[in-house]
Amino acid sequence: MKVLIVDDNHIERLILKDFLLAEGHSVLEAQNGKEAYQTAIASIPDMIISDILMPVMDGFKFCEAVRSDNILRKIAFVFYTATYTDDRDEALGLRIGADRFFRKPMNWDTFNDVLLSIFREKEKKEKDRVLEKLQPAEDINVSLLYDERLVTKLENKVLELEKTQQDLEINIEQRKHMEEELRKAEIEKNLILDSTSEVFVYFNTDMQVRWANRAAQDLYGLAPEDLSGRSCREICVIKDKLCATCPIQKGLEADNFQEHELATSNNRFWLLRGYPVIDADKNKIGILSLWHDITDRKKSEETRNRLENQLRHSQKMEAIGTLASGISHDFNNILSAIIGFSELAVANIEKGTELYSDIHEVLRAGHRARELVKRILTFSRQKEEEKKPVQMVAIVNEAIKFLRASLPANIEIRQLIDKNLSNIWADASQMHQVAMNLCTNAAYSMREKSGVLELCLSEVALDSSFTSRYTGLNPGNYLKMTVRDTGHGMSPEVLERIYEPYYTTKKMNQGTGLGLSVVHGIIQSHGGMISVQSEIGKGTSFEVYIPCIHAKVITETIGSQPVPTGNERILVVDDEKPITVMLKQMLERLGYRVEIRTNSIEALELFRSRHDMFDLVITDMTMPQMLGEELAAELIRIRPDIPIILCTGFSEKIQDENARNIGVRAVVMKPILRKEMAPLIREILDK
């Protein structure tokens, strides 16, 4: 059948239309009673389904118009409403002429059957029956009833509107209150975030800043309001370096927080964390980034690591010192025999002979070895010796001898040393350390290819225009040492850090990073200055300036010289038999009468039984069974006036002050030289 749907609600019409079409009916539509009346006249439907509350003409008036028309009054008319749901509304609708009155919503399973039954009932009525017109009184009653229902609906609507308005006013107040609470919460949140030094930045899923706290301004250089809306890449402080490990990006991809440590260009260290923000529906809506400044922690770790390295180095140097002392004791005993017997031999050989020259060279080598042992001991103790006038030429020549023996043949060494150079007031051992360190560094830079190592010595006059550029440097004459190489050179970044302790560009186990820092300290302690020029691929040049002095260096000649003699009786005690034999021959050639012992206990027993027969005792320090200082104390207990000379190869075993406290007259470092021992013996015996 053909059905006309009348409803001002498009959705309601659409739902009913889809239902009727699905049941096989054809459908006409209208939005109000007036439009529906015109549609019904133009295309007479079999049934009208109408809402009641509509603009222009409501359902009641529309139904009354349909029933008043001689043609349309035959059409089945059904009310279908959600507004007029009272029983009096239904009574009015049926009295006006509706065939049925339904309240929304309807049971769709039975609705079509109901409509069909209504249609069939309408068809059964006599088609030619003429309905009597309503009496005027009855019309008035219907009209009054209609007005009554309309007024009632209006009153109800007014009450609903008033209630709605009241509810709305309450909602507005509640909303204002909620907005005020939200505003306060926002202010409180900002105050909390701005009171911390931690950097908080919130990004949306497009990696754009939604908000940031005040601390972000120090990091990004932009106020929080200027950060809003900017992309992460736009404000990133580590451009092109961070994205691969960025915890902000990873936080959007993962379900838990991500973190990464990084450093910014202002030498600050940060722990960057990204926390994904997830809503109630388990959707990621953004990422909260937290920048935690860990600069102080990093610096503390660096300090701790530096102190640990210093401690390890100190322990290593202590171990080296202990090893060096032990080696020096044995080596000094060997040197004592070599030098002592060489001195005895050269005294019996005619000068000018080949044998005399050979033995003389042995003596020179022995003296160089003696100085080398001293230097090793001094370096291993890290103890500065007393400064004295030093010839830098001799130190440089000795350093070059060491280098030639250790450098590969592809590195050429060139010396450019001026003549008649002034002396410097310095620690010779430390100056040797400076020369060796600079030269070995230069050689290291040329290890992978051939090159030239150039070492120059000259004397220069520095005026105030030069010295004013360096702290602690005064105008005057300076010894200038230049160490130049043709190696790989250094970058400006490396040059800025070469004097930092433990900084090194060498591979693991190839350097401690202490060399140049120690060199720098030594030069400064000598009132000098060190400078460097370097260029990648062209090499490096170090220049060292040390103030000159006019004092002369006292040189000692090796050979037979007049030495003091005597005829007193001397007891020599040493567990090394070659040394006792050498001392016996040396002292007997000086006129002394000598008794030797290689056992300290036997020497004590001999002295206890014949203490009046000795005028002097010379004893070694380190011996089995009884140490030299213990032996000296026992001898002095037996005879308080006995002079004793203590010999040692351990420089730190006993000091002069400790020796004097137990009554020892002098301490002599091995190897023992005749030119040192003879005057000392004579001086002690003559007191």
Three-state SS string over 357-377 comes to HHHHHHHHHHHHHHHHHHHHH
Burial track 50-83 (b if 16+ CB lie within 10 A, e otherwise): bbbbbeebbbbbbbbbbbeeeebebbbbbbbbeb
End-to-end CA distance of the chain: 153
- Provide the pLDDT for residue 581: 93
Q: Within a 10 A sphere around the Cβ of 504, how many other Cβ atoms?
A: 17
Rounded Cα gap, residues 193 and 510, in angstroms: 50
Q: Which of 484, 459, 455 is nearest to 396 (CA)?
A: 455
Query: Rg (Cα) of the chain, in Å, rounded?
Result: 57
Q: Residue 234 belongs to what H/E stretch?
A: helix 232-235
Q: Which of 45, 97, 33, 99 is nearest to 71 (CA)?
A: 45
Tokens encoding 614: 């000795």
Contact criterion met (CB below 8 Å) for 13 and 30: no
Q: Which of 440, 480, 451 is nearest to 538 (CA)?
A: 451
What are the residue ranges of helices labelled H in 348-427?
354-381, 392-406
Q: Which of 614, 613, 612, 579 is nearest to 598 (CA)?
A: 579
Which amino acid does the sequence have at 402? F
Contact criterion met (CB below 8 Å) for 47 and 26: no
Rounded Cα gap, residues 682 and 363, in angstroms: 24
Tokens encoding 147: 């007005």
Q: Which of 453, 437, 367, 364 is nearest to 399 (CA)?
A: 437
Residue 257: left (phi > 0), alpha (psi -120 to 50), or beta? Answer: beta
**Phi and psi torsions of 599, nearest 5°:** -130, 125
Rounded Cα gap, residues 246 and 264, in angstroms: 14
Rounded Cα gap, residues 670 and 649, in angstroms: 5
Helix-helix angle 295-347:354-381, to 10 degrees: 160
Contact criterion met (CB below 8 Å) for 501 and 474: no
For residue 350, what are the contacts with CB-CB under 8 A and spacing of at least 6? 356
- The helix/strand count (H/E) of the chain reads as 22, 22
Residue listed under structure tokens 């927080």: 257
Rounded Cα gap, residues 440 and 141, in angstroms: 126
Rounded Cα gap, residues 505 and 641, in angstroms: 62
Tokens encoding 80: 């279908």
Stretches in the chain below the pLDDT threshold 50? 126, 128, 130-140, 240, 382-384, 508-513, 554, 556-560
Q: Which of 529, 403, 515, 519 is nearest to 455 (CA)?
A: 403
| Cα distances (Å, whole numbers) of residue 165 to 50, 154, 159, 160 | 30, 16, 10, 8
**Single pTM value for the model:** 0.44
For residue 264, what are the contacts with CB-CB under 8 A and spacing of at least 6? 219, 237, 238, 270
For residue 248, what are the contacts with CB-CB under 8 A and spacing of at least 6? 203, 207, 232, 258, 272, 274, 287, 289
The CA-CA-CA angle for residues 346, 348, 349, to 5°, reads 65
- Provide the pLDDT for residue 617: 96
Query: If 0-12 CB within 10 Å is exposed, 13-18 middle and 19+ buried, where does residue 372 land?
Result: middle
Tell me whether strands 199-204 and 209-212 are parallel, antiparallel or unpaired. Answer: antiparallel
Contact criterion met (CB below 8 Å) for 457 and 480: yes
Tell me whether strands 616-620 and 269-278 are parallel, antiparallel or unpaired. Answer: unpaired
Distance of CA 537 to the CA centre of its chain: 31
Which amino acid does the sequence have at 324? A
For residue 138, what are the contacts with CB-CB under 8 A and spacing of at least 6? none
- Provide the pLDDT for residue 339: 87
Q: Which of 633, 579, 576 is nearest to 607 (CA)?
A: 633
Q: Within a 10 A sphere around the Cβ of 379, how many other Cβ atoms?
A: 18
Rounded Cα gap, residues 574 and 572, in angstroms: 7
